[in-house]
Amino acid sequence: MATEVLWWIFAVATVLLSAGVVFSRSVLHSAIFLIGSLGGVGAMYVFLTVDFLALVQFLVYGGAVTVLILLALMLTRTDAKESLNGTQAPWAALAGAMLLAILVSASVAVKWPGDIDDAPTTIPLETISEKLFVDFGPPFVIASVLLLVALVGAIILARQEEGE
Amino acid sequence: MVPLENYLVLSAVMFSLGVYGVLARRNAVLVLMSVELMLNAVSLNFVAFAAYLDPERITGAIFAVFVITVAAAEVGLALAIVIRLFRNRATSNVDEAAMMKW
């Protein structure tokens, strides 16, 4: 029961913070809302008994990604008088609302089997590492190469060139 | 315990907010933040499905790890492009970055 109450608190907070990201009138506020929203998703991972993923979420998103975004916000300048939304915003709201209606009705209509009550224990780290490094070994290597190439590319793109 | 539907509805709400943000915002960094929201909604869905429906309860979490990896690469590259755009055109407005538009 207590878990359920906690879940609802975190779920409502996550939704409100996510709404803050897309509806906020200040870029910096959006970024701060994003930190909270990603933290809320991390809390959801704890509820789903994948503590390792929650840790990764807090480290990578709460730390690295939001710092990168804040840095980019500081390096670029936004005109405070200009509206952050384009003229297409009503259509975007329509598209979002329609997608939301479809997704919610689909996920409520289906009778999902299974319950987490059967095995509520935390997944041990050994199981995750075995799955990640043995069963998903090749994709893991490819993903690390992708990350390396992307970050080297980012450095080359953002570098100040001679005569600039 | 909380039923699976709750997680699905939560991630549906997050994803739809992300879609709205991507389509409505004009600042490139804000568009990127909305993309992050969508990616997180998707990984939450992966993990929720795995926890409830997968007997091992783990494959979805591995997928989420890969989603986080790709998202990190994407953020790094996209912000480099945004900074480059700002240096060349003095704007981070996606409407004004129309050099390649036909």
Domain span including residue A140: 124-164
Mean residue pLDDT of chain B comes to: 85
Those residues whose C-beta lies under 8 Å from the C-beta of residue A28, and which sit 6 or more positions away, are A70, A73
Q: Supply the pLDDT for residue A124.
A: 77
For B4-89, the fitting CATH number among 1.10.287.3510, 3.30.70.260, 3.40.190.10, 3.30.565.10 is 1.10.287.3510
Say yes or no for a CB contact (<8 Å) between B25 and A86: yes
| Helix, strand, coil distribution of chain A in percent, nearest 5 | 75, 0, 25
| Domain presence at residue A103 | no
Angle at A18 between CA A12 and CA A22, to 5 degrees: 145
What is the C-alpha separation between A59 and B33, in angstroms, rounded? 17
Is residue A3 domain-shared with residue A69, that is, in the same domain? yes
| Domain presence at residue A158 | yes
Q: Supply the pLDDT for residue B38.
A: 92
What is the C-alpha separation between B94 and B86, in angstroms, rounded? 11
Between A46 and B55, residue with greater pLDDT: A46
The band of A70, judged by pLDDT with boundaries at 50, 70 and 90, is confident
Number of domains in chain A: 2
Which of A4, A100, A107 faces B2 most closely, judged by CB atoms? Answer: A4
Between B73 and A164, residue with greater pLDDT: B73
| CB contacts, 8 Å: A108 with chain B | 5, 9
Q: For chain B, give every domain's residue range.
A: 4-89
CATH number at residue A7: 1.20.120.1200
| Domain presence at residue A89 | no
Which of B3, B37, B61 faces A37 most closely, judged by CB atoms? Answer: B37
| Domain presence at residue A61 | yes
Q: Supply the pLDDT for residue B49.
A: 86
Q: What is the mean pLDDT of residues B30-53?
A: 89
pLDDT in tens, B59-99: 888 888 899 889 889 988 988 888 888 888 777 777 777 77
Distances (CA, A) of B44 to A32, A134, A140, B4: 20, 23, 20, 11
Nearest residue on chain A to B30, judged by CA atoms?
A27
Say yes or no for a CB contact (<8 Å) between A64 and B72: yes
Say yes or no for a CB contact (<8 Å) between A18 and B14: yes
Alpha helices in B25-58 (DSSP H): 28-53
| Domain presence at residue A96 | no
| Domain presence at residue A25 | yes
Which of B10, B20, B25 faces A96 most closely, judged by CB atoms? Answer: B20
pLDDT in tens, A104-153: 898 888 877 766 555 566 777 888 888 888 888 898 999 999 999 999 99
pLDDT for A164 beyond 60: no
